[in-house]
Structure 1
Amino acid sequence: MRTIRALIAAGAAAALVLTAPTLASAASDPPAPQEWSTQVAMPYSLTMDGHRVLVADGAAGVIGQLQPDGSIAPIIEGADGTTSVATRGKWMAYTTSLEQGEEQPPLQSGLNIRGPKGDTIYADTHAYEYANNPDGVNTYGFVDGCLADGGSNPGVLDSHAYTAVSYRGAWLVADAGANVVWHVTNDGDISVFSVLPVIPITVDAQVQAMMGLPDCALGSTFNAESVPTGLAVGPGNVVYVSTLPGFPGMVTGAGQLWRIDRGGEPTAIASGLAGPTSISMAGPDALYVAQLFGGGIAKVSTSGEHEGFIPLPNALAVSTSSNGTLWAATAAATDEGGNPTGPGTIVSISKGKVTINGHILP
């Protein structure tokens, strides 16, 4: 499994020539997004801490706090490869990965847990994955048709800790390389919370063209990696996770939303999402889903109905404040060669006036 950064680049390039499905707009148009900042490049994660807006900018290696003037005040610098930040009271956790190239898995990956006294513990998901490989029970690749012979493989060793959330006095981490959700204690002890299943992709003309496959592959099944990305904890500590999934699924509308019970069993509750990278509760019975390749943010009920759609190109992260304000971040726009053509942004979507707290807590 390549890194999320590589998947985003590959998916963006494919999206230039392939049309990914999108959801219909809501019956009543949502308020226009209010732009707060253009001082980010790859804001993979937004987290609300009261009225503070925290951001993990992977391009800058910074965990920062949005200021009223649009600047990003750094809280933690040198967080290379960061993709998320989560808080619980005076605790903070953030993911980091040391990448070695687009086609290679990260050399290091894990969760950094900063305690109330400022001490930091590192939970090494990379080491745990390489010692246990929980998704080795899955079979990926072609499982039938003319390419099935030698075209499939079990779960490979790969860890890319992508999103962290607080969960019952500990932390959950969606690992986009290992295809699992980890449970991590404050002491850094790691265990498997859930292994995500394969995502079967039927090879149609679009997939054939995208992958450069022979005609005999049409109609065959390719088991894509699930690639868990967004995490949210709803009422009753119910866990929700989005799956991208891996190539070629991230631009074919094969993204899904799952509910995971306390035993770690995932149940798909919604499909048809185009590159979901982040989720957040939108009240007790719905979630917002950032779709990187779907044109914006979907609103999906916990029973699976698509309730609405907010246009926001390059949507990368979402987070909801306690008063219902939706915050979102977009990735920096790039050309076909992956070169930046514009900054990333942080926006709010609300029917009322929005204010933020710029005070940095020690």
Structure 2
Amino acid sequence: MRGSRALIAAGAVLALALTTPTVASAASDPPAPQEWSNQVAMPYSLTVDGQRVLVADGALGIIGQLQPNGSIANIITGAEGTTSVATRGKWMAYTTSVETGEEAPPAESGLEIIGPNGPMPYVDLHAYEYANNPDGGNTYGFVDGCLADGGSNPGLLDAHAYTVVSYRGAWLVADAGANVIWHVTNDGDISVFAVLPAVPVTVDAQVMAIMGLPDCALGSTFNAEPVPTGLAVGPGNVVYVSTLPGFPGMVTGAGQLWRIDRSGEPTAIAAGLSGPTSISMAGPDALYVAQLFGGGIAKVSTSGQHLGFTPLPNALAVSTASNGTLWAATAAATDDVGNPTGPGTIVSISKGKVKVNGHILR
């Protein structure tokens, strides 16, 4: 996957010119988002721990904690390229990916785990991907039509740890470069939990214009990389994953939700999402989906039915509190070449009064 910041900038620009899928509103409008902070830039991930709200800000290189006055108290600094944070009791884990350019894969990518007695050894997912390449059996690119000859390729070596969640005393990591879900123990043992399949995109006039393709490519199939982004664990330890397909899928509303059972077999449950970057359980049988290019947060049942929509431009991350409060973060606004023009935000969406615990979680 292209670098996460580059992906956001490119997608935001294209979203201005492209028509993206819409999600029907629920019968009753959801509460308006309440802004808590504008002291973030690229808040790729939120995690709610009781009344504490943690944020991974990749632009600032921090893991921070929201304070009642809207400031962000640093818990971890110097976390270059951090994209997510998760907790489990006295344990904390966060992902990092060090990027070298828009088109180059990250030079480093892994998981940092902090236990009750301090940091554990760094988990080098980049090295594991380059030694094993689990999606090497997938075929990406043109698979039919006039561009099929030499136009497709197997899974390339690329690691970009994007989201971590706690799972049955260990951790799952969605890797947006390797196109897999890693299983990582507290001691750092890595295994493959699931490999996401390629996402077929039919070449239409819009895709032809974006990619500058010849007329003969119309109607052909391009297998995009799935690019797993969000992760959530539901009842019965069922795992849900969002995918934001690689180019050109990322701008054609080809985002999907997947269910993965303990066998590791992914099953698609919902499609038509526009830039899904983060998901969170919305009760036992529904999920919230942050749609970076779709103008807000969708609510989707675990059977794939669209249940509602909350407008929130540049929605980047979601996390649900135990009392049902939805927390969300937005990416910093950018101009037409990707330069920041405004801050990111952290907001809450709730019908009741929301409280924030500012006591620092260490």
TM-score bucket of the superposed structures, by smaller chain: over 0.9
**Distance in 1, Cα, partners of 2:236 & 2:206:** 41
Give the residue type in structure 1 aligned to 2:323: N
**Distance in 2, Cα, partners of 1:5 & 1:173:** 19
**Distance in 2, Cα, partners of 1:56 & 1:121:** 20
TM-aligned CA deviation for residue 22 of structure 1: 2.0
- 8 Å CA contact 2:75–2:361 kept in 1: the answer is no
TM-aligned CA deviation for residue 118 of structure 1: 1.7
**Distance in 2, Cα, partners of 1:86 & 1:140:** 31
1:128 matches 2:125: no
- 8 Å CA contact 1:7–1:247 kept in 2: the answer is no
- 8 Å CA contact 2:232–2:279 kept in 1: the answer is yes
**Distance in 2, Cα, partners of 1:121 & 1:290:** 32
**Distance in 2, Cα, partners of 1:25 & 1:353:** 23
TM-aligned CA deviation for residue 121 of structure 1: 2.2
> Superposed, which structure 2 residues align to 1:263-302 within 5 Å?
263-302=263-302
Give the residue type in structure 2 aligned to 1:52: R
2:82 partner SS = coil
**Distance in 2, Cα, partners of 1:156 & 1:5:** 21
- 8 Å CA contact 2:142–2:223 kept in 1: the answer is yes
TM-aligned CA deviation for residue 102 of structure 1: 0.5
Deviation track 1:179-236 (CA, whole Å, cap 9, x = no partner) reads 0000000001100000000000000011111111111111000000000000000011
Q: Which residue of 1 aligns with 2:200?
A: 200
**Distance in 1, Cα, partners of 2:270 & 2:284:** 16
Q: Which residue of 2 aligns with 1:358?
A: 358
Q: Which residue of 2 aligns with 1:258?
A: 258
- 8 Å CA contact 2:224–2:249 kept in 1: the answer is yes
TM-aligned CA deviation for residue 120 of structure 1: 3.0
- 8 Å CA contact 1:26–1:310 kept in 2: the answer is no
2:327 partner SS = strand
> Superposed, which structure 2 residues align to 1:210-289 within 5 Å?
210-289=210-289
TM-aligned CA deviation for residue 4 of structure 1: 2.2
TM-aligned CA deviation for residue 174 of structure 1: 0.0
2:250 partner SS = helix
Note the residue ranges of structure 1 that are not aligned, 5 or more in a row: none
Deviation track 1:103-155 (CA, whole Å, cap 9, x = no partner) reads 00000000100111122321111000000000000000000111111110000
**Distance in 2, Cα, partners of 1:93 & 1:332:** 24
Q: Which residue of 1 aligns with 2:329?
A: 329
TM-aligned CA deviation for residue 11 of structure 1: 1.3
The 10-residue stretch of structure 1 (55-64 or 8-17) with the greater mean CA deviation from structure 2: 8-17
1:16 partner SS = helix
1:8 matches 2:8: yes
TM-aligned CA deviation for residue 335 of structure 1: 0.8
Q: TM-score, normalised by structure 1?
A: 0.99
**Distance in 2, Cα, partners of 1:208 & 1:11:** 17
TM-aligned CA deviation for residue 346 of structure 1: 0.2
**How many residues are aligned here?**
362
Give the residue type in structure 2 aligned to 1:194: A
- 8 Å CA contact 1:193–1:264 kept in 2: the answer is yes
1:96 matches 2:96: yes
Give the residue type in structure 2 aligned to 1:4: S
**Distance in 2, Cα, partners of 1:256 & 1:54:** 26
- 8 Å CA contact 1:85–1:93 kept in 2: the answer is yes
**Distance in 2, Cα, partners of 1:2 & 1:28:** 38
- 8 Å CA contact 2:54–2:66 kept in 1: the answer is yes
Q: Which residue of 2 aligns with 1:39?
A: 39
Q: Which residue of 2 aligns with 1:308?
A: 308
Q: Which residue of 1 aligns with 2:339?
A: 339
Q: TM-score, normalised by structure 2?
A: 0.99
**Distance in 1, Cα, partners of 2:199 & 2:245:** 7
**Distance in 2, Cα, partners of 1:312 & 1:17:** 18
Deviation track 1:301-355 (CA, whole Å, cap 9, x = no partner) reads 0011000110000000000000000000000010111111110000000000000
2:136 partner SS = helix
Task: Give me the CA root mean square deviation.
Answer: 0.7
- 8 Å CA contact 2:120–2:187 kept in 1: the answer is no
1:166 partner SS = strand
- 8 Å CA contact 1:7–1:246 kept in 2: the answer is no
**Distance in 2, Cα, partners of 1:95 & 1:152:** 30
**Distance in 2, Cα, partners of 1:98 & 1:211:** 28
1:349 matches 2:349: yes
1:127 partner SS = helix
2:241 partner SS = strand
**Distance in 1, Cα, partners of 2:12 & 2:215:** 25
